[in-house]
Amino acid sequence: MPRRSPAAARPGPPSAPPSVPPSVPSVPPGQAPAPAAASSLADWLRTPRPDAEPGIWRYGYRPLPPPDPDRIPARQLLSGAVVSFLIGWLIWSLLYNGYLGAYWLWPMLALTPESWREAGGEQMIYVWVTYAYYALVIGAIAVVFGRLGRWPEVFRRARARLTRTAAPDAGARGAARTPQPVPPPPPEHDPVEWPELRVDGAVEAAERLAGEVRGGRMNDVDHARIRRAWESVRARPGRLAPFVDTVLAHGAAACAHPSGQRGLPQRRAARHDLRLRQVRIGTAADTERNPHQYRGAGVALEPSLLGTSALTVGPPASGKTERVVRPVTESLCLQALAGQAAVVVVTAHGARLAPDESFDAVVRVGHPDSRHGLDLYGGTSDPDEAAGMLAEALVGDLAGTLPGGDSRRAATTLAQLIGPYRAAHGCFPAVPQLRELLDGSPSALSTLRAALEEAAEGAQLRELDAHERQSGRSDDPRPLLADRIALLDRPAFAGFFQPEGGGGPGGSPSEGPRPFSLRALERPLRVRIDLPERGHAEASRILARLVLAQFTECAAARGDQSLFAGLVLDDASQTVTPQSLRGLQRLRSAHAGVLLTLRGLDDVPQSLRGSLLGAVGCRMVCAGVTPWDAEHFAEVWGKEWVETRDVTNRQLVSDEPFTRVMHAVRRLATGRHVTAESVTVRKVQRERWSASELANDLPPGHAVLSLMTVGGERTPPILAKLGE
C-alpha cells in the first residue's frame, strides 16, 4: 500500500521531536509524578481498573465485599471472646484442681495399664500420656468455647487490621503510591503491546510503540495522545497509512500537540489516570455515613461527571482552590496535551493556580505585557448573538431589576447598534466606539447613519431608527449599558477587547494584544484568563460573566464536539444569572461543562440559589460553610429512610422477698435501680446530611459531595478528605 508523507498525518508532528520529559523527582504524599520509566509505565498500563460507581478512583480499585447484615460489632465480638475464654479457663481450673471430681479422667484411666501408675513402673510414659490427655481436654474446651466466643472471627479481623497497618501507603482500597510490579497478561491482552493496533493491521506501528514503552521513551501523556489519534483513525480508515508513517518516524512523539509539549513543566499536584481521564481529589471516609462501596475508596472527577457542571462552596482556605480547582485544571491541561479536551481557566490568582508554561495562551487583562487580548464578541459574526452575550456580561447580574426580568431587552438595544455598525464598517465596534453610541453621541450616530445611507442598508437604517425612537423611555437600558461599558473603557484596558478583524471604521486592525476568541474550542487549547480583581473588581465581574456567556454559546455551537470543553471559573461571585443557568443545562448534551467555586451562596441572588443547585450535577460543600448555605445543600440532598431504635428503661419492682433482696444488693453495687430495657425498631425519614451537621461537624479539610454523570446516574452525598 503506498504511503503518504508523515507530515500528512493529523495532527501533524513537530519539526523536531521533543525529548522525553525527565523523570519527576519524588513528591510529598498525595502527589504523584507521571509514569515515565519503562517499568512504571508498563505497570501503570497493566494495573486493573474494574468498573465502579461514579466518582470512584478506579486505578487499582478493589471493591469491598458485600455488607454482612449479621456482622457483629467489634466491641460486642471482643467482649464475647473474652467472656468465653474466662469461662473456659474457669472450667479447666476446676477440673485440674479436682473441684469437679475425677470423672473426666476415666477415659485415660481406662485406656492405660495399672502397671504404668505403680511405683517402679513406666511412670515416665504415664506422665507423657497424662500431659497429652490434658492437652486433648484443653483443646476440646478451646474448640467448644472458641465457637461460642467466635474466636476465628476475632483472629480474622485482627489479621486484616495488621495487614492494613503494615502497608499504610496502599490504603484500604486504592492503589499503592509506590508502583508495584504487575505480571504481564497474555500478549493479545497486554496494553503494552498495543493489541488494538495489531488487530486492525497496524502491526509495524504497534511494534514501534511497544518498543518505546519498554525502552522508557514514552509517558502517560504520550500513550493517551496516541490512543486518541488512533480513535480518529478508526473513525476514518483513510488516515491509517499517514498514522503508521508518523508513528514509525517519531515513535512516542507522534501526533504531538501543536505546542510540542509532551507533559506539564511543573510537578503534578494530584494523581491522574489518563487512561480513564480521572483525577483524584480525595478519599472517602470509612464511616457508616458513606455508602458501602465508597468507604475508604478514592474520589475522582472525570469528563463524564464534569459534563453535568460542578459547584464547590467553601470559605477561604477550605481547600476548594488547592484541592479541587488546581487538580481539575491540571487534569484538563493534560487531556488537552493528549488531544482530548480544551480548557479555559478564569482566575484572579494567575500563576499561583498554574504556571504560564502550562497554557498555550495567557490573557492578562490590564497588563501591558500581555500578548493576548479577549474578543468582546466571542468571535461571532451574528449581531444578535454578539449582543446577547455582551448584554449578559454587562447587566446580567441586574436581571431581576431589568424590564422583562432578564437581559433580553438590553440585548435588543445592543443589537440595534452593533448590527448597523457592522453593516457600515464591516466589523463590530470596539469599546470606545460602542461607548459613544450608547452615550447617544450625536456625531457618532449621525456618522453611522450617513455610512448606512451611503451603503444603501435600508434594513439597518430601520434598526437605528427604532433605537432612536426608544431612547429616553423610562425602561430604556441604554444609560445602564453605557455606565457598565465605561468600566471597560479605561486606559488600563486599551486594546484588550478588540474584536477580530479590527475595531475601527473600515475594519483596519488596531494595535494591541492579539484577540483570543472562544470559537477556538474545537481545538485542544489551554487558555488562562487573569482577571484584574484588585484594581478593577467590577470590571472583573463583567469579564467573568462575559467569558461564561461566550463559553456556553460557543461550546454548544461547535461543529465537532469530540473534544471535552471545560471552563474553570475560580470564584464565580456575581456571575450566576438566569441566562447563565439556562446555558449550563445546555452544556450536558454538548460534551462540555463548567466548574464553579463560591465562598458562599450569598454571592448568588437569593432567587437563583435553588436553581443553581438544581442546574449543576456535581455539588460539593467544604468544611466551614455557614448554616444558611448548609441548609440549601441539605434541602437539595433530600431525605432517606433509616431504621431507628428507641430504648426504654423500666424499673423492675418485685413482691418476692428474695428478689427484693437481690435487687437491693445490685442497687448498692451499681448505684442504679434494676431496670428492664424495651427496644422499639421503626423506619423514619431523615435528612441525608442536616444543615447542622454540614455547618458544625465537618472536620477541617473535608467536604461532602454528590456526583452525577451525563447519563443521569447519581451518587448520594459522600464525606471525603480532600487532597488524599
* pLDDT (tens digit per residue) in 418-467: 999 999 999 999 999 999 999 988 999 999 999 999 988 899 999 999 98
pLDDT at 30 over 60: no
Q: How far is CA 114 from CA 108, 126, 207, 594, 658, in A?
A: 11, 10, 84, 92, 51
**pTM value?**
0.82
- Report the C-alpha gap between 424 and 504 in whole angstroms: 11
What is the per-residue DSSP string for 43-101? HHHHS-----STTB--TT--PPPPP-TTPPPHHHHHHHHHHHHHHHHHHHHHHHTTTT-
Q: What angle do CA 4, 5, 9 make, to 5 degrees?
A: 85
- Report the C-alpha gap between 252 and 261 in whole angstroms: 12
Q: What are phi and psi of 472, to 5 degrees?
A: 90, -5
pLDDT at 368 over 90: no
Burial class (CB in 10 A: 0-12, 13-18, 19+), 273: buried
* pLDDT (tens digit per residue) in 208-245: 999 999 999 999 999 999 999 999 999 888 899 999 99
- Per DSSP, 323 falls in state I
Helix, coil or strand: residue 512: coil
- Report the C-alpha gap between 140 and 304 in whole angstroms: 59
Q: What angle do CA 614, 724, 529 make, to 5 degrees?
A: 60
Q: What angle do CA 319, 322, 323 make, to 5 degrees?
A: 65
What is the per-residue DSSP string for 478-498? HHHHHHHHHTT-SGGGTTTTP
Stretch 36-54: mean pLDDT, rounded? Answer: 84
Model pLDDT, residue 38: 52
Phi-psi region of 378 (alpha: psi -120 to 50; beta: other; left: phi over 0): left
* pLDDT (tens digit per residue) in 131-155: 898 999 999 999 988 888 888 888 8
